[in-house]
Structure 1
Amino acid sequence: MRIKSIIISLLIPFLFLSCEKSDLKYESQFKDSYDVFQKFKASSNNSYFYIVTGISFFGYSWETKLTVESGKVVKREFYFTAFESVQLPKNGWTSKELDEILKKKGKEFEEQLKKDGITLLEFLRWTEDENNLGKLSAKVGYASQIRTLDEIYRLAETDWIIKRENAKVYFETKNNGMISTAGYVEGNCQDGCFNGVNIKSIQAIR
């Protein structure tokens, strides 16, 4: 009887843990998506690029393309797709759009660009490689942080899609089963309140 009691006492903590509810809002979907990502990572030799999108109600929208080779971010490309409601043309910014933006933003914005040592075109679109990763965003902002998809999934699991009071949590897997949206919005906030990531595309580097 004593041995039986000892065994039961040892099993109780494990039984308790197994009955605990997950902190994840979308636990099953997350696990399925993570499995898909692991297969993608193996088939691509952990070399791929993904595009993160962002938007503001103030007439701004942008994309950040991050290139990963053998599990390491080696390149970050940023570009506005709209700035002050001026849309990026299919063939790139022209003097017409640049003049329109400067007219809307005013002299103070133009002077700040000069102080920062960059042109408007360099503000609207820029690229970092391994030699200067993380150095340009201090001047132009908005770009997605330098992260691999492993880090994206880790943040989703530990922060972005955990259950929260007074917050709406989002999780979607429209990139062939991999994360397309993961994050949350607290309260009734309307602009710039999304904590997480929106991924437009994930593709292996062939």
Structure 2
Amino acid sequence: MKKLYLIFVLSVTFVLNSCSLDTMQSKLDVEGEHGYDFRESRAAWKDLKREQGNSYTYTILVQSWTGYGSETTIEVEEGKVKKRYYVAFIISEEDGSRTVTETYEENTKKELGSHASGAPPYTIDHLYTTCLSKYLTVDHETNKIFFDTNDDGVMMLCGYMPVGCQDDCFRGIKISEFNWK
């Protein structure tokens, strides 16, 4: 009897895991304009890090329809975040110019992450993990999912927007600039 029960439990567990794996697989198939889905992009990222070295800069852009915006630039050297720069601004409706409202630089290990505003001081590896765990796994029926890369396959956009939402609804990662050092 115990053997039959164990077989039943294992069978149910396998079926449930298979269904959730199939569901997860379809969520990873979101493909951007540059032709990479999440898995392909992450593989390209790993290859590029080996080829280019693990030192780079990237900028996270946040921008509202109200004119408010900010950019946080993160510098990574040999896989470790070394610096974070932040600038907040308001965009003029008349000419599109920016008026800077706040800035800071964090240049030491002790300073990194000490300011509340701006994107957290994460590596691109961490952003891939966040993309997968927090943004690609939301309900695809009630949210529009976004994922895109640059020409080389490096993730530049990962997030979602609730269906029917009108203003400032995007939740996720928007990298506006990426450069190898």
Class of the TM-score when normalised by the shorter of the 2 chains: 0.7 to 0.9
Deviates more, 1:26-35 or 1:148-157: 26-35
Tell me which amino acid in the other structure corresponds to 1:27. D
Tell me which amino acid in the other structure corresponds to 1:177. G
Tell me which amino acid in the other structure corresponds to 1:83. I
Q: Is the 8 A contact 1:167 1:184 kept in 2?
A: yes
What is the CA deviation profile of residues 44-84 of structure 1, one whole-angstrom value per residue up to 9, with x for unaligned ones? 3311111111110111222211001121111111123x415
Percent identity reads: 28
Q: Is the 8 A contact 1:175 1:202 kept in 2?
A: no
Q: How does 1:132-151 map to 2 (within 5 A)?
A: 132-135=111-114, 137-138=115-116, 141=117, 143-151=118-126
Question: Structure 1 residues 84 and 169, CA, compared in 2 at 3 Å: closer, same or farther?
Answer: same
Count of paired positions: 160
Query: In the alignment, what sits opposite 2:107?
Result: 129
Higher radius of gyration, 1 or 2: 1
Q: Is the 8 A contact 2:41 2:154 kept in 1?
A: yes
**What secondary structure, in the 3-state scheme, does the structure 1 residue paired with 2:22 have?**
coil
Q: How does 1:67-106 map to 2 (within 5 A)?
A: 67-80=75-88, 82-83=89-90, 85=92, 87-88=97-98
Moved over 3 A (4+): 11-20
Query: In the alignment, what sits opposite 2:28?
Result: 26
What is the CA deviation profile of residues 89-140 of structure 1, one whole-angstrom value per residue up to 9, with x for unaligned ones? xxxxxxxx57xxxxxxxxxxxxxxxxxxxxx5xx1x32111241122x33xx
Q: How does 1:1-206 map to 2 (within 5 A)?
A: 16=15, 17=17, 20-23=21-24, 25-27=27-29, 29-80=37-88, 82-83=89-90, 85=92, 87-88=97-98, 120=101, 123=102, 125-130=103-108, 131-135=110-114, 137-138=115-116, 141=117, 143-164=118-139, 165-205=141-181
Q: TM-score of the superposition, structure 1-length normalised? A: 0.67
Gaps of 5+ in 2: 1-7, 31-36
Supply the RMSD in Å over aligned alpha carbons: 2.7
Q: Is the 8 A contact 1:175 1:201 kept in 2?
A: no
Deviates more, 1:194-203 or 1:11-20: 11-20
Distance in 2, matches of 1:198 and 1:175, equals 16
Residue 155 of structure 1: how far off its partner (Å)? 0.9
Distance in 2, matches of 1:174 and 1:126, equals 28
Residue 191 of structure 1: how far off its partner (Å)? 2.9
Residue 12 of structure 1: how far off its partner (Å)? 6.4
Gaps of 5+ in 1: 1-8, 89-96, 99-119
Distance in 2, matches of 1:61 and 1:204, equals 25
Distance in 1, matches of 2:87 and 2:104, equals 7
Tell me which amino acid in the other structure corresponds to 1:87. S
Q: TM-score of the superposition, structure 2-length normalised? A: 0.75
Distance in 2, matches of 1:22 and 1:71, equals 32
Instruction: Say which structure is richer in strand.
Output: 2
